[in-house]
Amino acid sequence: MRSDLDLELVALTKRYGTTVAVDAIQHLFHAGSYACLLGPSGCGKSSTLRMIAGHEEVSDGAIVLAGHDIAHLPPAKRGTAMMFQNYALFPHLSVIDNVAFSLKMKGVERAERRRRAGELLDLVHMTDFAERLPAQLSGGQQQRVALARALITDPQVLLLDEPLSALDPFLRVRMRSELKKLQRELGITFIHVTHGQDEALALADEIVVMNNARIEQAGPAREVFNAPRTEFVARFMGGHNVIALPKGHFAIRSDQVTVTLPDQGKLEGRVTGLEYQGASVALTLMTAGDQEITAVIPEDRYFAKPIQPGDGVGLSWDDTNLHALTA
């Protein structure tokens, strides 16, 4: 259902000289949703985000927020705010002055901007650090300050460029659940750029997969993971095999491939590799037709009847789990 605060990209294009970084993309971000722009390095994610923020000029197309084309407005007038990868805090300003900065630029008087900044610091649990300088904070704390600073303008859309990439893996997982919680509490649209599939699956209501300057597939996280439409999406999301069958190319999840006795499968193969993964075991198999297939088996099932590299096996699946690929 469309709402007044949706954000729509209409044939949005970015060219740098002869390089087309974003090629006439079309997309509707529903108001209040958490969207992840996902794709490999160089696919055009950051250029898209920066155009929405107003930090990159639009070559062609429109960016419609709340019914108005904001593509040519200055960043502060768009109803969007951006949180940068390196947080971009002012090193000489205290935490609270960093957060209040954009209100100062707008001419809001000191008492009011400190009150508002205090509220935002409370929201991100950083009240106790209000008078510190950014250099006296950990990476995770700096990130909270950067979030508060972006949110102080009351944006309808918060844009986050790889917000978790500077954090260590443990903190990354913790901060990602905090981001999700914050988005739910605020009820505004978050658009989060990442090249991490796990991050996108964990956070997004909607995943927008980009490849070569275009949107390859967009939809709810579960749908994009379970029903990839192209070979690129199947491989990039991971956890899938792409197999060529007489009727065409199909994706099937590795945990939906079963290993049988050699003459009982749909395809015959040989085990070429074996990886213990804790809860499961990943078997790499080469079919008679030279296709590499991975089967992920629960570890108890594997150890009840272990098979070894070199063993001949059959491979089977439920045909309803095959997803036809269009490219």
Ligand X SMILES: Nc1ncnc2c1ncn2[C@@H]1O[C@H](COP(=O)(O)OP(=O)(O)OP(=O)(O)O)[C@@H](O)[C@H]1O
- List residues binding ligand X (CB under 6 A): 16, 19, 21, 39, 41-47, 195
Residue 205 CB, shortest distance to ligand X, in Å, is 21
The sign one gets for the Cα dihedral 92, 98, 103, 105 is: positive
Q: 3-class DSSP state for residue 43?
A: coil
Residue 191 CB, shortest distance to ligand X, in Å, is 13
In the 8-state DSSP scheme, what is residue 124? T
- Between 165 and 316, CB nearer to ligand X: 165
Q: 3-class DSSP state for residue 293?
A: strand
Q: 3-class DSSP state for residue 167?
A: coil
Token pair of 259, please?
């290993």
- Between 31 and 63, CB nearer to ligand X: 63
- Between 55 and 132, CB nearer to ligand X: 55
- Between 45 and 149, CB nearer to ligand X: 45
Residue whose pair of structure tokens reads 């100062």 in the numeric block? 104
Residue 273 CB, shortest distance to ligand X, in Å, is 30
Report CA-CA distances (Å) from 18 to 15, 22, 211: 7, 12, 18
Q: Is 87 exposed, middle or buried (0-12, 13-18, 19+ CB in 10 A)?
A: buried
Residue 138 CB, shortest distance to ligand X, in Å, is 24
Strand pairing partners for 208? 37, 218
Residue 86 CB, shortest distance to ligand X, in Å, is 13
- Between 22 and 267, CB nearer to ligand X: 22
Residue 174 CB, shortest distance to ligand X, in Å, is 23
* Distance (Å, whole) CA 263 – CA 235: 29
Residue 195 CB, shortest distance to ligand X, in Å, is 5
Residue 200 CB, shortest distance to ligand X, in Å, is 13
Helix and strand tally (H, E) in the chain? Answer: 9, 18
Say if residues 289 and 259 touch (Cβ distance below 8 Å). no
- Between 177 and 212, CB nearer to ligand X: 212
- Between 136 and 212, CB nearer to ligand X: 212
Residue 125 CB, shortest distance to ligand X, in Å, is 29
Say if residues 171 and 143 touch (Cβ distance below 8 Å). no
- Between 46 and 156, CB nearer to ligand X: 46
Strand pairing partners for 220? 206
Cβ neighbours of 37 (radius 10 Å): 30
- Between 44 and 134, CB nearer to ligand X: 44
Are β-strands 248-253 and 240-245 bridged in parallel, bridged antiparallel, or unpaired? antiparallel
Say if residues 213 and 44 touch (Cβ distance below 8 Å). yes
The sign one gets for the Cα dihedral 100, 103, 37, 89 is: negative
* Distance (Å, whole) CA 234 – CA 236: 6
